[in-house]
Amino acid sequence: MPSSDGSAPRHLVSIDDLTNDEILKLFEVADRIRADRRQVSRLAQGSIVASLFYEPSTRTRLSFESAMQRLGGGVISAADMRASSAAKGESLADTVRVVGAYADVIVIRHPKEGAAKVAQRYAKVPVVNAGDGSHEHPTQTLCDLYSLRVEKGGIEGLDVVLCGDLKYSRTIHSFAFALARFGANLVCAPQPGFELPSYVVHRLRHEYRVEPHSVEVKDLETVAPQMDAMYFTPERPHQLSLFTDIREVNVKKFDALYVTRPQRERYTEAERSVAAPYFRVDRAALSGAKFRDTVVLHPLPRIDELSYDLDEDPRSIYFEQAARGVPVRMAVLGFLLGLFELGTAPPAPRSPIRLRTRGGIECGNSNCVTHAERQYLSPEYHLVSREPLLIRCAFCDHEQQVPLLGCSSTRHFHFASSAEVARIKPEHLVLFASEHQAQSAGYVAAGTRSSANRE
């Protein structure tokens, strides 16, 4: 809900919408709720959460609805948006504007990546991302971090194995960012062909200051013989920079194994046809010495990747992990409703370089929300780097290179490989898909006419 001073409401669309201090304070609230739920049982009386689920969900939707009701609030639910006005062609923007008048918080799950950011733009109440395509799932990440904290006493320095479909699992993406922020080491063991997306690796390296290295982790061979493991560790002087050969890296033990199911509903036809048999984790796979104290997590639902013989193993905590989602989401909802004061500063405003485009530059991610909501939504991009010239979609975070760049000051356009690109001021950058498009906009190739302006 809007704050009492009339400022914009807080949202939880990405794990980056919370600072580390805020996350830890939310966990303290969740601890108090777990200790005595009755103390908050009437806290949210008069408040309503609306759950808009454009994709099937059991745990996440029921967890949010249970959380709100346990806070004393009400729930209105559209569990199957195929039976809603969206089936008639209503835009996402119109839906959240209307539903925001019925509720105090909107929880949304959507198949299109970046959809939660669109909802955030148009809703006048807090928006919580319950999963947008294969992009992010921040509250699941909070539940996962909370379980690690409960089981291991902290997060910094833990060696966490992320195993399975790392390409399409939104839980993995948010979780990887959060683990890196808290100083954990990541061992990425993907199903062959389903490695971490390049934009996730790029952000881990450049924004979260962790460096990926290929490493032989022989204990994982019993889990998935074909996996090529990747080790991500914070760049600290006492860690990888001391090693002259990455093969010297020795993971003495694994603190957690995070397993994900194959996200087959997101596979392309080509991926379905060539996908190797999915790995399976059972007791035998975890018999190595490095797995002795490993906790096994899974966001659920599982298919065949987790053997049922693990359910009674004390290292398996995935059902406790799911149960802990209720107090964590109670803390999140209470915070967004202004019922809990965390006493910490919000994240500093981010000011990425936003680029202008003259049409034709579409997001290269076919599942980006900009393709589905194009009647009112224009592509927007942030500048990632100039060498190479790399842009990031402001909605789904997909990264891509651009062939031509213009300068609005000189009305010249340049090929991305041109050294002149580095001289253009950020506020003058304009994206073009082709020479014809640049010329149609009144720009000319650099060097074809003189200009008194310096770029």
Residue 4 lies in a domain: no
- For residue 193, what pLDDT is reported? 84
For the cut 60, the answer to whether the pLDDT of residue 310 exceeds it is yes
pLDDT in tens, 122-173: 999 999 999 999 999 999 999 999 999 999 999 998 989 888 889 988 889 9
pLDDT, mean of residues 104-109:
96
> Are 28 and 112 in the same domain?
yes
> Are 124 and 174 in the same domain?
no
- Burial (CB < 10 A; 0-12, 13-18, 19+), residue 69, is middle
Residue 452 lies in a domain: no
> Are 25 and 154 in the same domain?
no
> Are 294 and 161 in the same domain?
yes
> Considering Cα of 429, then 434, then 435, then 437, what sign does the dihedral take?
negative
pLDDT in tens, 283-304: 888 888 888 999 999 998 898 8
For the cut 60, the answer to whether the pLDDT of residue 362 exceeds it is yes
pLDDT confidence tier of residue 281, bands split at 50, 70 and 90: confident
> Are 185 and 294 in the same domain?
yes
> Are 331 and 213 in the same domain?
no
- For residue 81, what pLDDT is reported? 62
For residues 444 and 5, the model is more confident at 444
Total domains in the chain come to 3
Report the CATH number at residue 416.
2.30.30.20
Residue 347 lies in a domain: no
pLDDT, mean of residues 411-435:
86
> Are 179 and 269 in the same domain?
yes
Q: What is the mean pLDDT of the chain?
A: 85
Residue 289 lies in a domain: yes
For residues 387 and 331, the model is more confident at 331
Q: Strand, coil or helix: what is 83?
A: helix
The last residue of a domain, from among 279, 301, 336: 336
Report the CATH number at residue 78.
3.40.50.1370
Q: Among residues 138, 167, 145, which one has the least CA distance to residue 258?
A: 145
For every residue of 389-430, DSSP letters joined together read: EEEEETTT--EEE-SEEEETTTTEEEETT-GGGGGS-GGGEE
Q: Does the model's pTM come out above 0.75?
A: yes
The last residue of a domain, from among 303, 336, 369: 336
- Cα 357 → chain centroid: 25
Taking a C-beta distance cutoff of 8 angstroms, is the pair 138, 235 a contact? Answer: no
Question: What distance in Å separates the CA atoms of residue 390 and residue 12, rounded to the nearest whole number?
Answer: 27
pLDDT confidence tier of residue 314, bands split at 50, 70 and 90: very high
Q: Among residues 209, 208, 134, which one has the least CA distance to residue 164?
A: 134
- For residue 84, what pLDDT is reported? 57
Percent of the chain with pLDDT over 90: 47
> Are 97 and 79 in the same domain?
yes
* DSSP letter (8 states) at residue 62: H
Residue 167 lies in a domain: yes
> Are 261 and 146 in the same domain?
yes
Structural domain span for residue 71: 15-134+325-336
pLDDT in tens, 195-248: 888 888 888 888 888 776 655 555 555 555 455 566 666 654 333 332 233 334
Residue 245 lies in a domain: yes
> Are 302 and 153 in the same domain?
yes
- Integer-rounded Cα radius of gyration of the chain: 23
Question: What distance in Å separates the CA atoms of residue 123 and residue 355, rounded to the nearest whole number?
Answer: 24
pLDDT in tens, 13-38: 999 999 999 999 999 999 999 999 88
Q: Among residues 32, 31, 46, which one has the least CA distance to residue 1?
A: 46
pLDDT confidence tier of residue 353, bands split at 50, 70 and 90: confident
Q: Among residues 255, 324, 319, which one has the least CA distance to residue 292?
A: 255
> Are 118 and 23 in the same domain?
yes
Residue 110 lies in a domain: yes
The last residue of a domain, from among 271, 297, 321: 321
> Are 152 and 75 in the same domain?
no
Q: Where is average pLDDT lowest: 172-176, 199-203, 309-313, 324-328? A: 199-203
- For residue 115, what pLDDT is reported? 97
Residue 344 lies in a domain: no
